[in-house]
Chain A
Amino acid sequence: GENVEQHPSTLSVQEGDSAVIKCTYSDSASNYFPWYKQELGKRPQLIIDIRSNVGEKKDQRIAVTLNKTAKHFSLHITETQPEDSAVYFCAANSKTSYDKVIFGPGTSLSVIP
């Protein structure tokens, strides 16, 4: 069935350094890949998404890259700040199942001041 894997499960970086989170997906027909940020006790919120007709997208300090051949995509956060500390979830839509969105298990990012 559909599956999204995510690595690493935890990540600690010094403030100002970059953080990279990687995901793989199983449905080769997937064409929408959102990333969500969830702060402690709060709801997941979309921070950036990418569609399969592009290979990279940037929004200020956040960028996503997509490799459809290899079925993997990554989130890059540059110049990390303490407020970036949260759990990040990658996701992919399932074209075999009405476009439902399947989430990865999450990466807990800690930015150390």
Chain B
Amino acid sequence: DTGVSQDPRHKITKRGQNVTFRCDPISEHNRLYWYRQTLGQGPEFLTYFQNEAQLEKSRLLSDRFSAERPKGSFSTLEIQRTEQGDSAMYLCASSLVGAMGEAFFGQGTRLTVV
């Protein structure tokens, strides 16, 4: 599969634990996005990268969330001290910069905080 892949697909964690998700974008794509989606809502922007540079982080995102893309390829999203309100689908997408082209989404990681 040469599309965007995310790991794990599902994660159940206890409140207060830290979790880390991984996204592998399409290899030639230099933009990588993280979105969060809750039931019945559209994808909510979290942060995004152009190559290894983090261009923007949503003002809605607490300091418990951090993302990296160290070599401009895969990215990780970490949530520290998880809360029940963090339960959601975390989607990663990638695209080519400047092309205003299609952003391809991964299958997502569904997080459940119990």
Contacts and interface: CB of A to CB of B under 8 A. Distances in A.
Contacts, number: 51
A104 B42 CA distance: 6
A40 B45 CA distance: 20
A97 interface: yes
Interface of A: 6, 31-32, 34, 42-46, 49, 51, 89, 91, 93, 97-106, 108
Interface of B: 33, 35, 40-45, 48, 50, 55-56, 91, 97, 100, 102-103, 105-108
B50 A44 contact: no
A102 B45 contact: yes
B105 A100 contact: no
A8 to B, nearest CB: 13
A106 B106 contact: no
